[in-house]
Chains A and B, each alone.
Chain A
Amino acid sequence: MTDPGRTTARPPVLRAGGPAAKGSRQTQYRLVQIVSIMMLLAVWEFSGRRFGSNLTFPPVSSVAVALAQRLVDPEFWGFLWTTLQALFVGLGLTIGVGIPLGLVAGRLTTVQRLINPYLNFFLSTPTSPLVPIFLIIFGIGLAPRVATVFIFAFPILVVNTITGVRAVPKSLLEMAASFGVSSGLVFRRIIFPASLPAIGAGLRLAAGRAVVGMVVAELIVISVGMGRLIQRYSSSFDSPNLFAVVIVVLAIGLLIVRGMAVLERRLGQWKQITNGSSR
């Protein structure tokens, strides 16, 4: 029934994983990371007490207290929600427009030629100067911030999606042609799944840029949300609270990008496994 050397085939589960030995190495890395973070915190606390103050560089303990106070403060959650709204709506728009546009541009060279200059422009030039323009166009409110997040995140997702579509194996398209498969089905069963790994990578990169866009919008022009808090605490020299808000912003970025990395792995599953095997 089976070919030599493959009498016991592996179970049909799509799972990216390695041998058991990998587990213990992973715990080792974790341990090293925890130790390094604890050392950093210790150095921070020490230097804060020794050289800084709550007006300049605060010790980590004051920051922790400030962070705890902010986390029970309803006003803080309102500001956080304002910030996240722009991020989520902007990212949603990026995904909703970026992936379809990338899929179409990947297939139709004309469309790609048409949008390429704009993509290159937004990817290679600093996008921050556009924020005041958005403010003028869209007025104050959610719209200019969503536009900023979008313009930061959107080009990289489109470019990645195009790359994914372009990388679809020719042999599979020829196979589909030989069986007279309609272009709609080719798209659903071949082009879309084949580009998922690249789309996943694009989502991760786009999420990182979206967080940057979110911060830039609130910080440089539109003073709301986390950006407003950062400005408030820095102008009043309330360092512990300033640090606390910055930590929250960093945590948002980290969480979003990590979440997207998990999604990326899921979308790219077939590719990782295919590369891992002998073929």
Chain B
Amino acid sequence: MEADNERIIEVAGVTKRFQTTEGGVLTALQDISFSVRSNEYVSVIGPSGCGKTTLLRVLGGLIPTDEGEIQIHGRPVTGPGPDRAIVFQDFALLPWATVLDNVAFPLEARGIPRAERQQRAGEVIGLVGLAGFENYYPHTLSGGMQQRVGLARALAVDPETLLMDEPFGALDAQTRRRLQNELLNLWQRYRKTVVMITHDMEEAVYLSDRILIFAPRPGRVAEEVLVDLSRPRDEHVRRTTAFADLVEHVWETLQRLTIE
């Protein structure tokens, strides 16, 4: 834990523009700067169109920046890397592959022998509470279970940083809350650096150490909220005034940004 204060992700002046179909230019991210410490849980929240997902894709190395630089462990990000894994909003599971093969897929890409990758996949499947479902196909599982597979797949490669793009956005409220609890437990046990995109204010407060509130058009960091709720947390924290105050603060900030 001594490395906890090390800045693992440094985002410096990142700007990303897109050509619109009408020939105009959309600035999705405007001069974004922030850093994430090792094992810190940071959420990015903001109204739609604020470039949240673009930020995650830039962090994941899926698209290049136009200006500025992202460094992870002092190395500039030029593409996807084994130090990061993404959990996708739409799960992005292979419909023709079993749960086990889905989770083992990135391991296969790394040339890990079959027996070893199946064993490793089996372990993380157990971790996300899907033991016994290894040979099921995604379509036989509920949305919540499918996202557990998505989470297991990301954990299987044992990344330093977990990038999550509205991971529970496609799920119903009960399932979402259940998965939030399980993610919280997993994170508190195994600790990873997390950057999570979300539109759910309570989710952001419940899970995060820090919340970056984004403003839209152009997407930029409008405010940074430190979540000083003690760890380890559990469901009880949701009923505290501190929790309610934080959610309220995020809400007011978002309100102000939308009116602007």
Contact = CB atoms under 8 A, between A and B. Distances in A.
Interface string A46-62: 00000000000000000
Nearest to A6: B142
B133 interface: yes
A22 interface: no
Interface stretch (B67-75, B77-85, B224-232, B246-254): B77-85
Contacts of B144: 3
Contacts of B135: 12
A171 B94 CA distance: 10
A177 B140 CA distance: 26
Interface residues of A, number: 36
Interface string A175-212: 11111111001000110011010000000000000000
B145 A171 contact: no
Contacts of A277: 139-140
A146 B164 CA distance: 55
Contacts of B157: 179
Nearest to A1: B129
Which of B60, B90, B96 is most buried by chain A, counting CB atoms within 10 A of its CB?
Answer: B96
Contacts of A181: 105-106, 109
B34 interface: no
B141 A14 contact: no
Contacts of B140: 9-12, 277
Majority SS at the chain B contact face: loop
Contact of A12 (B61, B81, B98, B109): B98
Nearest to A276: B139
A182 to B, nearest CB: 6
Interface in A241-279: 270-271, 273-274, 276-277, 279
Contacts, number: 96
A201 B34 CA distance: 51
Contacts of A43: none
B88 A175 contact: yes
Nearest to A3: B144
A179 B90 CA distance: 16
A6 B60 contact: no
B85 to A, nearest CB: 7
B137 A14 contact: yes
A179 B109 contact: yes
Contacts of B118: none
Nearest to B105: A189
A81 B120 CA distance: 54
B67 to A, nearest CB: 23
Given A3-B142, A4-B174, A182-B109, A177 B80 contact: yes
A201 to B, nearest CB: 16
A172 B94 contact: yes
Interface of A: 1-6, 9-12, 14, 169, 171-172, 174-182, 185, 189-190, 193-194, 196, 270-271, 273-274, 276-277, 279
5 contacts: A1-B130, A1-B131, A4-B174, A270-B96, A274-B139
Q: Which 10 A-B pairs have the closest CB atoms?
A: A3-B144, A179-B106, A175-B92, A181-B109, A270-B96, A6-B142, A12-B136, A3-B142, A193-B96, A277-B139
